[in-house]
Amino acid sequence: MQIIILSRKPDLYSTKRLVEAASLRGHDVRVIDHTKCNLIMEKAKPAIRIGHEYIKDADVVIPRIGASVTIYGSAVIRQFDLMGIPSILTSTSLIRSRDKLRSLQIMSKSGVGIPKSVFARHPKSDDVKMMIEEVGGTPVILKLLEGTHGTGVIKADSVSSAKSAVEAFSGIKKDIIVQEFIQEAKGKDIRAFVVDGEVVGAMERSGQGDEFRSNLHKGGVARPIELSSKEKSVAIEAANLHGLTVAGVDMIISARGPLIIEVNSSPGLQGIERATGVDIAGKIIEAAEKKVNKKIKDKEKTKGKKKKKKKKVDENE
């Protein structure tokens, strides 16, 4: 099988592990920087070119798209799809998961547990006070819509500090979400790794000292954890709602049950593999294999239907 991994940095742990896992299964793997892809659109002839080379003969794409190039990355995925090359991450699912506001709206409508959240575009001081009251008072969490790895996330312990933060964000024209602070979580969250509708590994992350953010990029520590059936089902539902074959679902445990705080479409593998000892990269390659096998079966099914239709026409003549 010919596998293309879209990644800007071949030396990243996640990219290297995917290459290793695919190679161990006898597949040919190529890492391509999606930001260097030229997308060529012509009647009935969509194509992708890097330099003077046209990309051909791939069976499946495994995207690792960074947040800063979400829009272009989604266009590259869409182009592969137009060329008949499936991806384990669709362009729609990528955009849906990266848009934090849209993601919260999707989960809110479905009934998945989330922290109570309020969004307003460039709120004024009086608006901030009402937003804080709406989520149950201080402390509150303020989140930038485009933040990643714990950046753009602030805890405000008072209305005045929340107003100051909002005014600063408004000054640089950044949109924010005000979210309730879950005190009983005690600075801990859970990352559930979902692949092809199954939780294949989970870890509990804890912030260090007074740090309320548990992200490993912010110095958090991780340990493996066994999820309850409820926590597993919530993680799987969150991934499915976003249309994700592979997802890192972050949740906190509250007095009212698990609450989803974020759904990641290109979750890193280093933390989860080291914490759990599970070959997550191998699970992702297996999902890619299933994607290709499904495409082959669908083609054969379509071919069979056409043959039956032709035979029926011939018999009626």
pLDDT digits (tens, 9 = 90+) for 20-72: 999 999 999 999 999 999 999 999 899 999 999 999 889 999 999 999 999 99
Identify the CATH number of the domain defined by range 2-89. Answer: 3.40.50.20
pLDDT digits (tens, 9 = 90+) for 221-277: 889 999 999 999 999 999 999 999 999 999 999 999 999 999 999 999 999 999 999
Position 62 scores a pLDDT of 98
**What residues does CATH 3.30.470.20 cover in the chain?**
90-113+183-265
Assigned architecture for domain 116-181: 2-Layer Sandwich (3.30)
**What residues does CATH 3.30.1490.20 cover in the chain?**
116-181
Closest to 147 in 3D by CA, of 250, 256, 9, 63: 250
**What residues does CATH 3.40.50.20 cover in the chain?**
2-89
- At which residue do the structure tokens 């950046």 appear? 151
165 — pLDDT class (breaks 50, 70, 90): confident
- In the chain, the amino acid numbered 114 is I
- Taking CA atoms, 259 is separated from 124, 153, 306, in Å, by 28, 17, 48
* pTM of the predicted model as reported, rounded to 2 decimal places: 0.88
Pick the CATH number of 90-113+183-265 from 3.40.50.970, 3.40.50.10330, 3.30.750.210, 3.30.470.20: 3.30.470.20
Answer whether 95's CB lies under 8 Å from 76's CB. no
Answer whether 110's CB lies under 8 Å from 126's CB. no
Question: pLDDT: is 306 or 101 the higher one?
Answer: 101
Question: Distance between CA atoms of 245 and 247, rounded to whole angstroms?
Answer: 7
Q: Which residues pair with 87 in a beta bridge?
A: 61
- At which residue do the structure tokens 């190039």 appear? 69
